[in-house]
Amino acid sequence: MNMIQYVAALGARPPGADASLNGTHATFHARVKAGACCAGVRLETDGVEYAQAADCAAQGDALAPHWRLRGANSDFWVRLTFNSGDALDAASDSAGVWHVLTSSRFFFLNEASVGTKTCNITLEIALDSGGVSITANKDYDISAQRVI
């Protein structure tokens, strides 16, 4: 393999693998609830992107399109970049690390006391563990508000 072929192979997609994060524009996920309130985004192994449920359940509203358009979960890796605002819940997947999408990945706020938490994050999906071949990225504005 010559150098040009090697460089081309580094950025090559697995055959038939492709992903999307619900369009290309920023999404606003807001939840308001009496009692502890969660808001965020989940990428599930069923290939669907979900808005986190306000009651902090495993899934909320399904968003279209699915994050996994073609390929197996093991073809994809996701990385969170925390841009600004309140810290995500400690149960969220770590920022700055590529996580393989063979298990559920979630990124959310949890407002346990009366008030509002907000943040802005970016999610990127790559076809490799080092993020060389990024196939999707998206900014999310998230807001969780506990009213009583």
| DSSP-assigned letter for residue 13 | P
Question: Given this model, what pLDDT does residue 24 score?
Answer: 44
The closest alpha carbon to 39, from 130, 114, 142, belongs to 142
CA-to-CA distance for 101 and 146, rounded, in angstroms? 31
- Reported pTM: 0.80
Ranges of the chain with pLDDT below 50: 1-13, 24-25
Helix (H), strand (E), coil (C) string for 68-119? EEECCHHHCEEEEEEEEECCCCCCCCCECCCEECCCCEEEEEEECCCEEEEE
pLDDT tens readout for residues 64-78 = 557 788 888 899 999
Q: Which two tokens stand for residue 34?
A: 């009496």
Residues paired with residue 49 on neighbouring β-strands, in sequence order:
43, 63
Amino acid residing at 137: N
Question: Given this model, what pLDDT does residue 51 score?
Answer: 79
CATH number of 3-146: 2.60.40
Q: Which two tokens stand for residue 78?
A: 């996701």
Question: Given this model, what pLDDT does residue 64 score?
Answer: 56
Q: Which two tokens stand for residue 66?
A: 């699915």
